Amino acid sequence: MNLDNLARIDLNLLVILKVLLEEQSVTRAASRLHISQSALSKSLNRLRDTLDDPLFQRTAHGLKPTAHALNIGQKLPNILQDLYQLTQPPTFNPASSNRQFSFAMVESAYETLIPYFIGPLLNTAPNIKLDSYVWTEKSMHDLQQGQIDFGISGRDLHPLSDSHTDRLPEGIACQTLFTDTQVCLVRQDHPLMAALNSPQWNLSLYLDMAHVQVRCEGSDWWALDYFLADRSHRRQISTTVPDFYGAASVCAHSDLIFTLPSSFALHACKLYPLKLLPLPFEFMPMAYVLLWHQRNDEDQGHKWMRDTICQSVEKLILPQS
């Protein structure tokens, strides 16, 4: 390592490069970094001189990274995390910390999980800042790139499922918070109620019903739909909505049936005139898991967050299961 050469590099430029790679737009990157576009352009020119590479090409759709820029970009999250760790004290004191943590959660977990851990987090560390986002198809990539600290998502427990907990992207670690099963919701005076306690409530009748579905991670199909498709079945999805509350409201005001995790179904029954029905066939359970990148394993603040979330959920949810 040539320390003389390293001393001439402005390490702030690495942060700017990471944001440029993520945004691929000078305008968006400057806004995110709270600097002018002119200042960002000057920093980009310095980056090009320092790294002896054009780094980006301007196109009609924004900045296109060069192969060298993409190669650096793969290494930046770990490099910046290591640099960040060097600036942190050897211990983490929740009571005096003003650190900022971010996480993305599947929508069904906001009502069913946040109430269990938000109090313990903020009561113990009143000065920390928590930023939360809805889990999307981009969230796993954001975890890998260090744009968010934690994720809470649903993962299938079937060993052959593509979203099994053993099939996580490279570098992503997880811990199961609790397991859940799928159930059905219908409005209280739904005609289906007459068949509930009879042999009529079976797969055939379930497939004959019209369904409301929540679009998750950009997809209209859930694991349940792929499970049925493998058996040459398909649900009649009449209405697709972007969130669980919308689906519960549609269900309460129509004859549509809503299939969803039981934890949110119990919550929905408190808000809407709905009845909970068992799924009329066996289907694999799913798990709500806490996700993070392994580069943060030894970060004391991260570890405190993980432990607090997991212990709070275990303390309050498991006795009910």
pLDDT digits 0-9 by tens, 103-121? 999 988 888 888 889 999 9
Q: What is the C-alpha separation between 15 and 40, in angstroms, rounded?
A: 11
100-156+294-320, superfamily in CATH?
A: Periplasmic binding protein-like II (3.40.190.10)
Q: Phi and psi at residue 180, in whole multiples of 5°? A: -145, 165
**What dotted CATH number matches 3-86?**
1.10.10.10
**Six-digit token string for 92:** 């983490």
Q: Assess whether pLDDT exceeds 60 at residue 64.
A: yes
Average pLDDT over the chain reads: 88
Helix (H, G, I), strand (E, B) or coil at 231: coil
Domain range annotation of the chain = 3-86, 100-156+294-320, 182-284
Question: Would 100-156+294-320 and 182-284 be classified into the same CATH topology?
Answer: yes
DSSP code per residue over 246-272: HHHHHHHTSS-EEEEEHHHHHHHHHHS
**What dotted CATH number matches 182-284?**
3.40.190.10
Rounded mean pLDDT of 240-258?
A: 95
In this prediction, residue 96 carries a pLDDT of 93
The structure's pTM equals 0.74
Query: 275 near 177, Cβ under 8 Å?
Result: no
Q: Assess whether pLDDT exceeds 80 at residue 269.
A: yes
Q: Phi and psi at residue 5, in whole multiples of 5°? A: -65, -40
